[in-house]
Structure formats: C-alpha cells, structure tokens
Amino acid sequence: MIKTDDVTLTNFQWPTGYYNDGIEVGLGQSDKLDFGYLVSEVPASAAGTYTTNKFQAAPTKLTKNTINQAHQLQAVVMNSACANSCTGQQGEQNALTEQQLMAQKLGIDANLVGVASTGLIGAQLPMAKITAGIKQLSPHHDDNVTKAVLTTDKKPKHACVQLQMGGKTVTITGFAKGSGMIHPKMATMLGFVTTDAAIDGNLLQQTLSQTVDTTFNQITVDGDTSTNDMLVVMANGMAGAPKLTSTDDADFSTFEQGLHLVLQELAKQIAADGEGATKLVECNVKGAFNELEGQEVAKAIVGSNLVKAAIFGQDPNWGRIISTIGMTNAHVDINHVDIEVNGIKMVKDSLGLPFDEQAAHDSMGASKVVIDVDLHVGDATGQAWGCDLTYNYVKINASYHT
C-alpha cells in the first residue's frame, strides 16, 4: 500500500453520482473498445491542465476553452485511434459537433461537455462512426471507459482513494492512458479524475495545477510531448461534505493529499507501461538547491537515453547518471555528489566506490529500479519516474502509423 500521511489507495470504485460507458465503433484497425463517455449526474466543478505543444489538438483546445468559461463540466466524451490533431478547421468543427451531439443526448448545455481524443495525428474523425457511437452509449458503472482510451498501452491505469471530510466519506478516482510520446509539460497522455467532494472550481484549478507539477510533469518515457495531453478533474459534491472554498478550510489539506496520491499513482503507472518497457525507474534527489532543481535533476536522469538503456541491460554504469547530472542547469558541487542504485552505494563525494557489480546487475533485473542522488548543495528534494529503453520501443514506433 502507498500512503501519504493518512491517505491510502483503495480498490477501484466510482464516486457517488458518476456513470460511464466504453464501446467499440471501429475507429481503429483491431477489435477493441475505442469510444466512450464519463458523466456526472449533476454539473460538477472542473479543472484541467493541457499540453504545452504548440500544435494543440482540436479537442484539447475545445475542452480547455469550455472549462475556462465557468470551471464546470458534466460529461466528457472520448475516443482512441484518432487524435484529431493537425486537422485544421474541419477538425475543430468535428470536435464542436461531437460536443453538441453529446450535449443533446444528455439534455445538457454544450458548455458542460468536454472532448478528448488520442491516437494518430493528422487523421480526421470519422464523424459517421462518432455520431453512431454517441447514440449507442448507455449508463454503466463498470470500468469500460478506462479501456476505451487505450492505444499502445498494455493495460488501463486507475487509482482510487477514500477520505473523511466533514463526517462524510469522499472518493477520488482517476484513470489515465499513456504509453509513448510521454513527456508532459503541464503525453500521448489523457487523464480523468472524478470525485464526489465539493470544491470551488477556481480552487480546484489552482490545486490541480500545483499538484501536476510534482506528479504528471515528473514522468517521461521518451522525451516527446504530445499534441493531445490533457488532464481533467470533475468534482460534483454528491458526497454531501462541506464545500471547499479556501486553502484554509479544515478539510482542504486532506483533499489535496488525496488528489496528489491519485495523480502520483497514475503517473507511475504510465511510466511503468511505457512502450516496450520492462521496468519502472524512480529517481529520488535530495540535497538540491531548491525544489525546481531537485525535480529537474530527477527528471533528467530518468529521461536520459543512456541511463534508460543501461537499466534495460542491467548495467550498473553510474557514469551515465553523474554525467546527466552535470548537463543540467542545477547547482552542483562537483566534489560532493552521492549515488545509489537499488540501495547499493556506487558513488561517494563524486568518486566511485567498490561494490559488488554482479549483485548490482542482478538487482536491476527487478520490475522497479530506484536511483537515489544526494547533491549536497541544499535541503530540497525532487522525484521523477520513467522506464527503461528497449528494443521493443523502437519496433513499436517504427511501425506506429502502419
């Protein structure tokens, strides 16, 4: 179990007042769920973070603009196989049409509907299939929607916590997709979080933006930022707990911890499921000059192709780690850097230590490899997650289009 103070992950379940569906409408080349929706029974406070790629996809732009109007949503319609990115005015119209059709189906205002797409860049949405799919969607309380957004993912990613707020049980549940083109700066990544907590929309946006910096923004698979990255949170208040309106509210820190844990767990699951990956790589940095530099160093290490390849080959080559540290803009005392891999001390004061290389090699065969770095220039920390670089990553991406 993973704990953040008093908050613990629990089994997957939807918060009060949400339903979903995931179906197959033939958007891709194989028989799989590829279209779905996520709906709250009532309008919910909403917040989002979005890709920093200059070529922002039509559905991403539409959802961002929709949420920013009043920080409210009631539904999100989503698909895989087609990103609806770099599709010009027709792509923008298709996203808008999809939003309007979903609003009509649910009998709600179009400004309460978000749109999310992932898949191949450059292809127009097949609107006949999208229109037919919207008609087929029906309320369910299973997890099929978590499967409908997958592309090269090996499995769905989801996380859930339950909290006590104002004497009520509040649930926060999230799911995400992401396997390649993962280097969020907010990957191809889509994330959706639902909660029955009540929180002011602007406060939810502020909390989400801050939490993303230490969770989703600290993962990398291949250093590429997608045109469609998006994370959306909906809070419908149906648990009956008092509404959060300020960071000074008694239950705010509890909610913040719960949201952080859900996002962190989803981020780690995405990193572990990187295209072709066999290992989750975690880097923990301490002794950094400030938190930004701690995060920078940690993400640089898990993002280094040389480090990732060494981990795949179970090669305890600490030289690749220390050279990556030296390429960052962080403050570094070049005479006092310490490095451990899976608890095996390899470097002290920037000099190599004698260690059992066979034992280190064997330890790197585990499904998780942990790199610990002490920079000895301050009191700040940083953490990031990535995966190893394997032959299969090249194989998958050499033929992704075909």
Contacts of 351 (CB under 8 A, 6+ apart): none
Q: Is 275 annotated as a binding residue?
A: yes
Q: Is 8 annotated as a binding residue?
A: no
Question: Which own/partner pairs from 349-354 qualify as long-range (CB within 8 Å, at least 24 positions apart)?
Answer: 350/322, 352/318
Q: Is 402 annotated as a binding residue?
A: yes
Q: Residue 92: how many CA atoms within 13 Å on its side-chain side?
A: 7
Bridge-based pairing state of the strands 113-117 and 72-79 = parallel
Q: Is 151 annotated as a binding residue?
A: yes
User: Can 51 be counted among the known catalytic residues?
Assistant: no
Bridge-based pairing state of the strands 280-288 and 368-374 = parallel
Bridge-based pairing state of the strands 380-387 and 280-288 = antiparallel
Q: Residue 375: how many CA atoms within 13 Å on its side-chain side?
A: 31
Which residue intervals of 34-154 are DSSP H helices? 58-70, 88-106, 127-136, 144-148
Catalytic residue among 188, 207, 225, 390: 188
Question: From CA 283, how far away is CA 355, in angstroms rounded?
Answer: 20
What SS3 class is residue 190? strand
Q: Is 225 annotated as a binding residue?
A: no
Q: Is 397 annotated as a binding residue?
A: yes
What is the DSSP secondary-structure string of 296-349? Answer: HHHHHHHH-HHHHHHHHTT---HHHHHHHHHHSSS---TT--EEEETTEEEEET
> What strand order describes the sheet that includes 344-348?
351-352, 344-348, 338-341, 368-374, 280-288, 380-387
- The CA–CA distances, whole Å, from 58 to 95, 121, 126, 167 equal 6, 11, 14, 42
Q: Residues comprising the binding site for substrate?
A: 151, 177, 188, 275, 397, 402
Provide the annotated active-site residues.
188
User: Would you list which residues are annotated within the binding site?
Assistant: 151, 177, 188, 275, 397, 402
